[in-house]
């Protein structure tokens, strides 16, 4: 049985179609990544699967249960870490854990031991009796993750789990997510803006844009599909350079993003000289040239026309915006 089956799921907000006829399956025990730019519909999909949002049409099954007819069974099967904060700031970290444990009817002793164990795991055990309103953003994030794991769900949704965490904590969490997945066979669905994260954690990736799944495969297959090498040329005259390059049949794909030209080609090292010579002849200035094997960054650019760097930046801005709105 699949952990999740989604069949032509659609969500409309008035005239806006946030999720558009999406179908996919997630095999039990895998880590599944949803990758997409801001507003792609990732959170909306997760909210529907978690029974927090009604679907407009289509069907979905979570742990074999229908998301619209068997909501209680779905809720018992899942844990979720929301993109936005969902803690009670007037309670302590331990009390937040305890509240969660009680809601999921975990017996007293197990609730206490498990809470302490998880708080230790996210390194909050020494601050567990402090009110959450005194916590930093990263500490809150860690607490939310610990809380989402308390009832040992079969399926865990992580909506941007490591957004705003420092690299050390992020690595820590990756390790834990891997362990959870491997040792406890928890199926994990995560959305992320970090390519490294998607690459490091996910067995399967779905790239989603404007509510549609554009492509879905393993990270390696996605990179191989692009194939060859990526040549990155920084030039103040990028559009002219691009039209020149389009004339070569070895240039499989040429794109401009932020005054940088991205060329997908085979055997890049052979063609560099050619490009440099041509630019000299035509008087096109070149600031730098570099070669790398296709990464998920390139996959993302290829399918969405954007680089994840932009997404990262704007995602951070968004978090800042949210905080700002709240503090007013």
Partner 1 sequence: MDIVYTLWLRNVKRYIRSRSRMLGSLGMPLFFLLMLGFGLNSVVSIPGFDQGYIGFIIPGIVAMSVLFTSIFSGIQIIWDKQFGFLKETLVAPVSRMEIMIGQTFGGATIAFIQGMIILVISLFLGNHIASFAGFLIAFTFMIMIGLSFTALGIAIASRMEDMHGFQLIMNFLILPVFGLSGAVFPIDNLPPWLKSITLFDPLTYGVEGIRYGLLGVSHVNPVVSCTILGAFMLIMFVTGAYLFKKVKI
Ligand X SMILES: Nc1ncnc2c1ncn2[C@@H]1O[C@H](COP(=O)(O)OP(=O)(O)OP(=O)(O)O)[C@@H](O)[C@H]1O
Cα 144 to Cα 140: distance, rounded to the nearest angstrom? 6
Shortest gap between Cβ of 216 and ligand X (angstroms)? 16
Shortest gap between Cβ of 223 and ligand X (angstroms)? 22
C-alpha 323 chain-centroid distance: 21
Q: Which of 34-42, 90-98, 125-133, 222-230 is the region at the interface with ligand X (rule: CB under 6 A)?
A: 34-42
Shortest gap between Cβ of 163 and ligand X (angstroms)? 9
Cα 315 to Cα 300: distance, rounded to the nearest angstrom? 16
Could you tell me the CA-to-CA distances from 285 to 207, 232, 281 in Å, in that order?
Answer: 35, 14, 10
Q: Which of 304, 135, 93 lies closest to 207, judged by CA?
A: 304
Q: Which of 11-19, 23-31, 231-239, 257-265 is the region at the interface with ligand X (rule: CB under 6 A)?
A: 11-19
Contact call for residue 83 and ligand X (CB under 6 A) = yes
Q: Which is nearer to ligand X, 8 or 182 (CB)?
A: 8
Sign of the Cα torsion 310, 313, 315, 320 reads: negative
Q: Are 188 and 177 in contact (CB under 8 A)?
A: yes
Q: Are 142 and 124 in contact (CB under 8 A)?
A: yes
The helix (run of H) or strand (run of E) holding residue 143 is helix 137-149
Cα 260 to Cα 270: distance, rounded to the nearest angstrom? 20
Contact call for residue 304 and ligand X (CB under 6 A) = no
- Locate tokens 């799921």: which residue? 9
Q: Which of 3, 6, 9, 18 binds ligand X (CB under 6 A)?
A: 18
Cα 145 to Cα 149: distance, rounded to the nearest angstrom? 7
Contact call for residue 162 and ligand X (CB under 6 A) = no
Q: Which is nearer to ligand X, 40 or 284 (CB)?
A: 40
Q: Which is nearer to ligand X, 274 or 317 (CB)?
A: 317
* Binding residues for partner 1 (CB under 8 A): 50-53, 72, 75-76, 78, 80, 82, 84-91, 95, 99-100, 102-105, 147, 326
Strand order of the sheet with strand 187-191?
Answer: 78-81, 155-159, 187-191, 31-35, 204-209, 212-217
Shortest gap between Cβ of 299 and Mg ion (angstroms)? 20
Q: Which is nearer to ligand X, 39 or 164 (CB)?
A: 39
Q: Which of 33, 43, 100, 156 binds ligand X (CB under 6 A)?
A: 43
Shortest gap between Cβ of 83 and partner 1 (angstroms)? 9
Shortest gap between Cβ of 52 and partner 1 (angstroms)? 6
Q: Which of 10-18, 23-31, 94-102, 104-112 is the region at the interface with ligand X (rule: CB under 6 A)?
A: 10-18
* Binding residues for Mg ion (CB under 5 A): 42-43, 83
Contact call for residue 39 and ligand X (CB under 6 A) = yes
Q: Are 263 and 251 in contact (CB under 8 A)?
A: yes
Residues lying near ligand X in the complex (CB under 6 A) = 13, 16, 18, 36, 38-44, 83, 318
């Amino acid at each position: 049985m699949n952990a999740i089956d989604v069949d032509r799921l659609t969500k409309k907000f008035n005239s806006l179609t946030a999720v558009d006829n999406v179908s996919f399956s997630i095999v039990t025990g895998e880590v599944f990544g949803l990758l997409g730019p801001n507003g792609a519909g990732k959170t909306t999909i997760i909210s529907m699967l978690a029974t927090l949002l009604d679907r407009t049409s289509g069907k979905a099954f979570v742990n074999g249960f229908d998301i619209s007819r068997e909501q209680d069974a779905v809720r018992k099967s899942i844990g979720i870490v929301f993109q936005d904060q969902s803690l009670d700031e007037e309670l302590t970290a331990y009390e937040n854990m305890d509240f969660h444990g009680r809601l999921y009817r975990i017996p007293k002793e197990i609730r206490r031991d498990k809470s302490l164990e998880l708080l230790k795991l996210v390194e909050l055990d020494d601050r567990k009796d402090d009110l959450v309103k005194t916590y930093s953003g990263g500490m809150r994030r860690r607490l939310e993750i610990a809380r989402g794991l308390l009832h040992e769900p079969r399926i865990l949704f992580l909506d941007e789990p490591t957004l705003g965490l420092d690299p050390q904590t992020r690595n820590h969490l990756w390790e834990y997510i891997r362990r959870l997945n491997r040792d406890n066979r928890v199926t994990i669905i995560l959305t992320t803006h970090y390519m490294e994260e998607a690459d490091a954690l996910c067995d399967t990736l779905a790239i989603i844009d404007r509510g549609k799944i554009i492509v879905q495969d393993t990270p390696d297959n996605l990179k191989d599909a692009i194939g060859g090498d990526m040549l990155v040329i920084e030039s103040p005259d990028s559009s002219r350079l691009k039209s020149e390059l389009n004339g070569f049949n070895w240039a499989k794909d040429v794109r401009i993003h932020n005054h940088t030209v991205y060329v997908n080609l085979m055997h890049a090292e052979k063609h560099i000289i050619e490009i440099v010579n041509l630019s000299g002849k035509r008087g096109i200035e070149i600031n730098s040239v570099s070669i790398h094997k296709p990464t998920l960054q390139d996959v993302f650019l290829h399918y969405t026309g954007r680089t994840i760097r932009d997404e990262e930046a704007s995602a951070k801005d968004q978090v800042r915006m949210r905080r700002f709105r709240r503090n007013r």
